[in-house]
Structure 1
């Protein structure tokens, strides 16, 4: 099944939300070992607590990579665990390169049988650094999310620069829409090429939605970074589809005590209810 069709169907069943798995070892709650085994226990616990309402998880590769081979082993175990819970997995690695190196990245994360449904990618190298990912997506019903307008405060240093009559992020949005134009899902008419647009820039999100009518939008920045439900609403179409909202710290670190699982589950439930009611899912 086409990635965008699957994403939309799962979001309708639960809520259009994504739990970011950012297992910062220094912030792990009470009773969790500060090592690779602890990260595995923590991520499994978060998945168990949030999976009832969240159809997607987004493990951040950096927090696994920092622990070397043991951390990467845990990364793949976490992805497998999430897939066994019937969740979609977005690997947040922001990968990019050209030629055979890009092909290797695409195979590593989007290859057949890999427990990953989508990957975040950086577009700075242009289409040479995107096409190998798209080809792999088309082969294996996977997806990518291309950085367009990110939620961090300094994003405007580059992304807001004028290029002709438009900003860089606006030009990038048009490229992203074009890159996915030949790979639309038969059920939703959404592309396997999505975009990352931060909740911290709601006005830009509203306009970018019009430039990318066929692109699923991954919206970070909700919760701990300051974005609210009304801020993410412009990323959705009128029928409540077309976007997935991510929260990481606001859910996974809702408590640093022994009740961390329960707190994460409640935070995910509260987010799901707020997003569903706001975007009319």
Structure 2
């Protein structure tokens, strides 16, 4: 079945830009006026709600990193659930950053946990480096048209070179092989926009092969980390987009903590997050235009 969710994400990028707001919310990020009289669950959700309300019209999607919530136990997971529910109520596209990588029955349970019920999201992140059978248990959800995945392909961390850059007997990097296998799995579900719902996590911090990756993974939609705090620049990001689409660019700390960088009153945290999301969106848009003029 043709994927509806990837078409929806593609359209959101057209309408709102490539910014993916990362809700990697640490209690340390939350202003004191929110934290002082609330439980961890309440404080995190109120902070997230402020960020969501301020950025929903200038962001294509929201990525919720589960580790920040798991670290706080039940209270954190309730805040995680509340955040996903709120995003769904507002018809905003969600990426649950869970990076699961197990196989068989265990993977089926992960799929059920994060594509249904309390923790339901539109997309989830997966780690395919255990093999393609770590992805197959999710396909029954993808083929229905309203779910998708982003598999790790070539990541933004320095340690990516330890394994992802190893070459096979044909001279291909491991990430080349993995990316192509994920792409091939997703081609039967390709959306009207020309992309599959089985996307890839492609970091923008290693730019030497950027144009090559975008070319040979033409139909793969990218989730692009590494912008901002990890050193990726707007002109680096532009290499991984197709005329400003075909990917979303995540920023977490840069948006969540914009109020501290600007020296603003902490009560303006949401306003500062919005300003940073707009600045990021426009900077990347300009980089795409400049690249097109090269």
Coarse TM-score class (shorter-chain normalised): over 0.9
Q: CA deviation at 1:205?
A: 2.9
RMSD over aligned Cα atoms: 1.8
Q: In structure 2, how many angstroms separate the alpha carbons of the residues matched to 1:196 and 1:227?
A: 14
Q: CA deviation at 1:150?
A: 0.7
* Equivalent of 1:20 in 19, 22, 27: 22
Alignment partner of 1:153: what SS? coil
Q: In structure 1, how many angstroms separate the alpha carbons of the residues matched to 2:233 and 2:272?
A: 19
Alignment deviations for residues 152-197 of structure 1 (CA, whole Å, 9 cap, x no partner):
1111111111222111111111112111111101x21210100001
After TM superposition, what 4+ stretches of structure 1 lie above 3 angstroms from structure 2? 111-115
Corresponding residue of 1:173: 179
Corresponding residue of 2:263: none
Q: In structure 2, how many angstroms separate the alpha carbons of the residues matched to 1:113 and 1:255?
A: 31
Give 1:110-189 correspondences, 5 Å limit.
110-111=115-116, 115-164=120-169, 165-185=171-191, 187-189=192-194
Gaps of 5+ in 1: none
Q: CA deviation at 1:108?
A: 1.3
Corresponding residue of 2:11: 9
Query: What TM-score do you get using the length of structure 2 for normalisation?
Result: 0.90
Residue 275 in 1 paired to residue 284 in 2?
Answer: yes
CA contact (8 A) 2:12 2:60 kept: yes
CA contact (8 A) 2:10 2:245 kept: yes
CA contact (8 A) 2:211 2:240 kept: yes
- Alpha carbons of 1:20 and 1:154: their partners in 2 closer, same or farther (altered >3 Å)? same
Give 1:242-253 correspondences, 5 Å limit.
242-253=246-257
Q: In structure 2, how many angstroms separate the alpha carbons of the residues matched to 1:65 and 1:112?
A: 17
Alignment partner of 1:74: what SS? helix
Q: In structure 2, how many angstroms separate the alpha carbons of the residues matched to 1:42 and 1:178?
A: 40
Corresponding residue of 1:93: 98
Q: In structure 2, how many angstroms separate the alpha carbons of the residues matched to 1:255 and 1:246?
A: 18
Q: In structure 2, how many angstroms separate the alpha carbons of the residues matched to 1:140 and 1:215?
A: 16
Give the number of the structure whose alpha-carbon radius of gyration is greater: 2
Alignment partner of 1:43: what SS? helix
Q: In structure 1, how many angstroms separate the alpha carbons of the residues matched to 2:28 and 2:195?
A: 39
Gaps of 5+ in 2: 261-265
Q: CA deviation at 1:30?
A: 3.2
CA contact (8 A) 1:110 1:137 kept: no
Q: In structure 1, how many angstroms separate the alpha carbons of the residues matched to 2:11 and 2:278?
A: 19
Q: CA deviation at 1:213?
A: 1.0
CA contact (8 A) 2:81 2:118 kept: no
Alignment partner of 1:139: what SS? coil
Alignment deviations for residues 136-158 of structure 1 (CA, whole Å, 9 cap, x no partner):
11125111000011111111111
Query: What TM-score do you get using the length of structure 1 for normalisation?
Result: 0.94
Corresponding residue of 2:258: 254
Q: Aligned residues, how many?
A: 279
Q: In structure 2, how many angstroms separate the alpha carbons of the residues matched to 1:254 and 1:138?
A: 39
Alignment partner of 1:279: what SS? helix
* Equivalent of 2:214 in 209, 212, 225: 209
